[in-house]
Structure 1
Amino acid sequence: MTKRELREQARAHRLALEAAEAARTTRRRRFSILGAALAAAIAVIVVAALVSTNSNSDAAPSGDLVRSTVVDGVPERNGVLGDPNAPVTVTEYVDLQCPVCAEASKTALPALINDYVKTGKVKLELRTMHFLGPDSVKSARVAAGAQQQNKLWSFVETFYANQGTENSGYATDEFLRDVATTAGVDADAALDYADTDASEQALTKANQAAQAIGADSTPTFTITQDGQEKVLLVGAGDVSAELEKAL
């Protein structure tokens, strides 16, 4: 092989090596760009998830509150809904933070009120318990204040319609004030009553009644006939169907 041919061969070899190195550099750059883009995308997803979680668990429901109309037109006296002379009493044991209680208020309560309370067959009582956390205590106390205005049921049902995430701290004074106002309750009077010993006594009475009947979860519905109270249904089932069997 001549010197010229050797030089040409060496030059070709060098160019091939340079081309290979350039290709490797390009691939490394692409992988770097793709990796950075993927990392950025993951970061966005994580941040969005955290924001979503915080917004769902730490904040009260935003915007104007919804007023429940399920008890509209039904008289209430001292926490008893319907005709005080009705022969049968159905009592519901609830915790305002309980999501199953909120579900029962939508699925079971309307039929119970329409078919039995409005017709005078049954009167409906409410016992507000407070075992799920501090928000339950505060909410139950304000509910006791609403009861003094014969607006307990309206307050409770409106609370359910705007219920937040359990034990997230959403039941602030501002939120409870808004619920009360939306429900037609004098919010100032209800919150003032919540700070009294009388509101604590209402909670104690509800707990004692629950213990006496063995109601250790919410919602628990009981029926009282001839002075005897017994459990009718636990959970958000068909209260009307169970009541029909018991009557």
Structure 2
Amino acid sequence: MGSPIHMPATVCAPPPRSVRFSRDMRFCPINSPTSLSGFPKGHIISARSSGHGTRATRPRASSALPLVLPRLPDREALFHPDAPVTAYPIRHAVCPGSARQGGTDLWEGVSVSRSSLRQERSDHKQSGESTLREVVVAMIILVLASTSVFIVASRRSPERFAAPFPSRSTTEGLPVRGRMLGRPDAPVAIVEYGDFQCPACRMSAQTILAALKAEYIRVGVVRYQYQPVAFLGPASLRAAEAALCAEEQGQFWPYHDQLRAFPAGESGEIFSPVSLKRLAVALGLDRPRFNACLDQGRRREDALRMTQEARARGVSRTPTFLINGMMVVGAVSYTQIKQAVERAK
């Protein structure tokens, strides 16, 4: 609504007796002798009855826009000449027109029916609902797009599979032959039977093996060999195959340490073929060669054979250590392993 224009009370003349007043007659044109460019004085709304209430007769369109009064709470206010009246430019004017003859503008008032107001409120409500739907749809699209970008980025980034263990720290300065660490003629031989999905085996790699390297393997007292077994299902078998494929490129221990770094538990999600291949890329292995080894299952029989041999030796749990033929089973402490090494020397 435009800025209010304060006019004298004589702005609206009483309706003639021939016109019946209706509460739907909300506005009447201004009765001003000078300021409204020749509007006829005393002109009032010409109303007619319709099925939807009283409305103004629609004349021919004109570019002029009259000043009209807002709806009054009581029709008696129209007949008090001393009361101040505020007029506003009407926003949806459809009533101004011109006479067919004589060139004189004949202005008729504007009546905004209740049905048109209800329609306007309905339009606003529908517009608000439409805007809300658009916002919700936009948010859903944004979430889906962000998720897709994250998935694509994760699939293209082998670096996210780089483990916290340095790839060369476990074997640096140590004699390495395939899956064996230490001097071949070391007096104490330790064989670990481990499953890559076994949480206790993961702890063994981080504590027992690290301590054995520092205290016994590096000085030539112990030689340590790892035998991968698949006690916990297909994911364990895939991980064992992948580690043996890495062995073909002389990278068994770095690959072993990386697999141990992931807390996969017994779910095996990280041991999918795609993840195992990305891990090889992160370690700098020859990707086509590694992928061919894994896809063709070249080391599957070896992994199955090692599992069968372990069972034949009475191994039923992981980790299990054979220390010069003496079996130490389960998640033991380094102190227990050290005592067994000292007795075997």
Distance 2:297 2:270 in 1: 24
Are 1:63 and 2:160 counterparts?
yes
- The alpha-carbon deviation at position 194 of structure 1 amounts to 2.5
- Alignment map for 1:91-170 (pairs within 5 Å): 91-170=191-270
RMSD over aligned Cα atoms: 2.4
Structure with max Cα Rg: 2
CA pair 183-223 structure 1, distance change in 2 beyond 3 A? farther
* Off by >4 Å, runs of 4+ in structure 1: none
CA pair 245-206 structure 1, distance change in 2 beyond 3 A? same
TM-score (norm 2): 0.48
Contact in 2 for aligned 1:155/1:183 (Cα 8 Å): yes
Aligned to 2:189: 89
| Alignment length (residue pairs) | 183
Q: Which amino acid aligns with 1:245?
A: R
**Structure 1 stretches of 5 or more lacking a match?**
1-61
Post-superposition CA distance 1:117-142 (Å, at most 9, x none) = 11111111111011212211111111
Match of 1:240 among 325, 338, 344: 338
Are 1:205 and 2:301 counterparts?
no
Aligned to 1:33: none
Distance 1:168 1:79 in 2: 22
- The alpha-carbon deviation at position 110 of structure 1 amounts to 0.6
Q: Which amino acid aligns with 1:159?
A: L
Contact in 2 for aligned 1:213/1:230 (Cα 8 Å): no
Deviates more, 1:62-71 or 1:194-203: 62-71
CA pair 113-129 structure 1, distance change in 2 beyond 3 A? same
Distance 1:104 1:236 in 2: 8
Distance 1:131 1:206 in 2: 11
CA pair 66-81 structure 1, distance change in 2 beyond 3 A? same
Post-superposition CA distance 1:6-42 (Å, at most 9, x none) = xxxxxxxxxxxxxxxxxxxxxxxxxxxxxxxxxxxxx
Contact in 1 for aligned 2:189/2:223 (Cα 8 Å): yes
Q: Which amino acid aligns with 1:136?
A: S
Contact in 2 for aligned 1:130/1:136 (Cα 8 Å): yes
Structure number with higher relative contact order (C-alpha < 8 Å, ≥ 6 residues apart): 1
Distance 2:288 2:173 in 1: 24
Aligned to 1:188: 288
Contact in 2 for aligned 1:102/1:160 (Cα 8 Å): yes
- The alpha-carbon deviation at position 67 of structure 1 amounts to 4.7
Distance 2:192 2:328 in 1: 10
Are 1:174 and 2:274 counterparts?
yes
Q: Which amino acid aligns with 1:176?
A: L
Distance 2:209 2:313 in 1: 21
Deviates more, 1:160-169 or 1:82-91: 160-169
* Greater helix content: 1
- The alpha-carbon deviation at position 218 of structure 1 amounts to 0.6
